[in-house]
Structure 1
């Protein structure tokens, strides 16, 4: 009986124009495998770079940017688990697999809810960072952030798991018409529409306050404030991109509960929404200079095998030293070496003069401390 039900379900999946697991059957296996492998590789590397950038870049090492890392982690689960699962099914020569499909939809729904709540937290954090005093911002302690992140992952995991365990929501794999039941409507209202509305309100309010602050006469904002505004703008673009990728699938999902749509449109929009996890890190690298600089350092360190120094000093651009500074910890070299120092020494030490000459090698002034 169980085998007959399973075969019936698999046959219903196979009748769709586009498979929820292996994409369009009209494409060759090699083309689908290359596409999925490329999406997984590019997305996974990009998400790892995005999370690492917050750790190595001084400006990005702020407690509020932990929510950015949380979005990158959710995207990494999609690019590292959901997409490769389809590639494995294609390599195995299978058309569809119900267990793999349910696993993919569980992870995708889980990460979708985590991303929605994390985007709301990012917008809320940007609003308090730009529009309130530093004392108010410091109330966002590490303990509060940790508790909030654990609550987000636990709550979203329970919501995503209940729809499969108790069949309380729409079945993505079989597309069984369960109608708009109270559980599904409640989840959409509380964990999707309300957080997205709060996120939109926070960005609109932040933009209004920042423009009002900059319009003051004789106002000159510090460089860190400009960096915060640029990062908030990048976060807003990431939020808009998330809407552009997921709203079409959400609309089709709502329409499908009333009037059945074709599987080709349904699953193509679903994969379009999932592919958002592959480009979010690229978006931050293109629009934000600090992420872009961190990406370059990470690429040089990981791929080019060169020595890269990750700066730990926070200095404005105009205050950085123009020459090289090298520090020697050898006791015999604990001295300042400059042309003036060499002239003052006179004939005291020939070795001191030789050290000063070698320090000015290659046409650059190098001060040895």
Structure 2
């Protein structure tokens, strides 16, 4: 018996193929740029590369699974479906946590720059990555031991954790995996916004040279870029969160369930575009990594605005960061 009509299958496959191409190329471009362009190899950019790697796995594995279901028009087997549900829970969990880590790194960079180099280190990034994977694995492994926690979602043509099978599991998952990281991220950007606004007048009064103003603008652009990525994430995952909170599956139309999973996939496709549009330095890094332009020869050294904003002594840092 066929699961879906021809019109639904064709529409979903077209969107899936487009997002697969864009998402794969875009996330590979981020990773390639950060690993090949020397000036982009900063600790903060390591977090961007890790987020891109998670998005690449979401696009590279989860979407083809759904496309396979649409092409065969058959429900996947028990083993394949359970494995898909486990991977989905793991990757979605890791994605929001890395967005939180990026926000925290910006928070320490702007608000506590004297502690930044001590806190945001390669070692701590590795520890944070292991921690994120551990949290994701904790929830994902539950789906292996308890069959009632995962299901084949017909409107999503995907196997995911059963949002309606166990209210307790769903509430804990949404609170720990979605709400807590989102709250920490929002808190970080609110503190950054308040900190920068408070220091803006004092900065312009005491540091009215062009280099300081340029550095200040540069830090603002970096922060705004990551803030936009966070806002886009929340918007894209909003339908999924709505359909996962209370009620029954039948309380929401099938089209909303389908839209929710595709918006989650879309979020993993567009980060590279957001970085390119909002961050001139990342955009230049793209072009350098693809050899469209020559590597930047400038290495201007200016006072760090973040150090001044934190109330510490001014130091020096290169403007060529990611």
Of stretches 190-199 and 137-146 in structure 1, the one that deviates more from structure 2 is 137-146
Map of 1:96 onto structure 2: 75
**Structure 2: runs of 5 or more not aligned:** 155-161, 303-322
The CA deviation at 1:177 is 4.1
TM-score under structure 2 normalisation?
0.79
Match of 1:126 among 95, 98, 106: 106
Whole-angstrom CA distance in 1 between matches of 2:200 and 2:177: 35
Partners of 2:23 and 2:59 within 8 A in 1: yes
Q: Which has the larger radius of gyration?
A: 1
Structure with bigger helix share is 2
Q: How many aligned residue pairs are there?
A: 289
Partners of 1:168 and 1:184 within 8 A in 2: no
Whole-angstrom CA distance in 1 between matches of 2:254 and 2:83: 19
Deviations 1:113-164 (A, max 9, x none): 1111111111111011011234543332221211211221232123123124
Of stretches 66-75 and 213-222 in structure 1, the one that deviates more from structure 2 is 213-222
The CA deviation at 1:28 is 5.6
Map of 1:187 onto structure 2: 173
Alignment of 1:76-225 (within 5 A): 76-91=56-71, 93-99=72-78, 100-167=80-147, 169=149, 171-173=151-153, 177-181=164-168, 183-216=169-202, 217-220=205-208, 221=212, 223-225=214-216
**Structure 1: runs of 5 or more not aligned:** 1-10, 318-369
| Change over 3 Å in CA distance of 1:78–1:126 after alignment to 2 | same
Map of 1:315 onto structure 2: 300
Match of 2:18 among 6, 29, 38: 38
Deviations 1:247-299 (A, max 9, x none): 11111121444863233321222222222111111111111111111222334
Map of 1:340 onto structure 2: none
TM-score under structure 1 normalisation?
0.69
Deviations 1:94-124 (A, max 9, x none): 3332455544443332221111111111111
* Aligned-pair Cα RMSD in Å: 2.8
Deviations 1:294-347 (A, max 9, x none): 222334x3xxxx7x5434752269xxxxxxxxxxxxxxxxxxxxxxxxxxxxxx
Map of 2:230 onto structure 1: 239
